[in-house]
Amino acid sequence: MKTLKTNYRIRLIATASAMTSFFFIGCSSESQQRASDDNGHSHEDAHDHEGEVDHDNDHEKKEGGPNGGRIITSVNPRVEFLINDDRSIQLTFLDNQSQPIAPNSQVISLISGDRSNPTMIAFTPKDNVLVSTKALPEGNSVPVVLQIKESPTAEIIREKFNANLSECPTCDYQEYACVCGHDD
């Protein structure tokens, strides 16, 4: 029993020593010099960055759905997620020009509401869209996990977001579908 405690203490001291060494190595004057080094590129002279990537706009501008919903771009074809006035959910599949197309063999489900009592929502075809079989749970901002399989044998793609039904003050969409980018 005594050797077990001694071995444990030795391992603990060795781990603490290693972590301390990494800390001091990372904080050496050489690393600090590299962090402040301009790599031979002076910013005092005027210059342009022709041919370089614009770092100020690293993210794409969000696109609004044709019906006012949120565009889900992680699947092909893209899908518009729209919450109707009766809190039912409408999924419209879109081509590359954002024109509606009929759903194929996609398998879609949604989990929403309180984690301790989640609401499972399925979808059924209606005209050229999929419509939820249940309404979204009550609340102005409801967590949503949308699970999409592009075909019955494909892997599940999950989209997680809050369905915030407040009106955006700067665009024509509700917050869950906002295209302003003020939350980015």
What pLDDT does 23 receive? 41
What span, in angstroms and rounded, lies between the C-alpha atoms of 72 and 63? Answer: 10
Task: Report how far residue 146's alpha carbon sits from residue 108's, in angstroms, rounded to the nearest whole number.
Answer: 7
Which two structure tokens, joined as six digits, stand for 117?
A: 């009592």
Residue 2 three-state SS: helix
156-184: per-residue pLDDT in tens? Answer: 999 999 999 999 888 888 999 988 876 54
| Cα radius of gyration (the chain) | 26
What is the helix (H) or strand (E) element at residue 4, kind and residue range? helix 2-26
- Other beta carbons within 10 angstroms of residue 118's beta carbon come to 14
Residue of higher predicted confidence among 35 and 88: 88
Report the pLDDT averaged over residues 135-163.
Answer: 95
Which SS3 state, helix, strand or coil, does residue 168 take?
A: coil
The alpha carbon of 79 is separated from its chain's Cα centroid by a whole number of angstroms, namely 15
Burial tier of 128 (Cβ tally within 10 Å: 0-12, 13-18, 19+): exposed
> pLDDT, tens digit, for every residue of 16-53?
454 444 444 444 444 444 444 444 444 444 444 444 44
Residues contacting residue 149 through CB under 8 Å, at least 6 positions apart: 106, 107, 108, 155, 156, 157
Burial class of residue 20 in the structure, from the number of CB atoms within 10 Å of its CB (0-12 exposed, 13-18 middle, 19+ buried): exposed
Q: What is the pLDDT of residues 102-128, one digit of tens each?
A: 999 999 999 999 999 999 999 999 999
Which domains occur in the chain, in start order? 70-177 (2.60.40)
Q: How far apart are CA 160 and CA 145, in angstroms?
A: 5
What pLDDT is recorded for position 128?
92
Predicted confidence band of residue 58 (pLDDT cuts 50, 70, 90): very low
pTM over 0.75: no
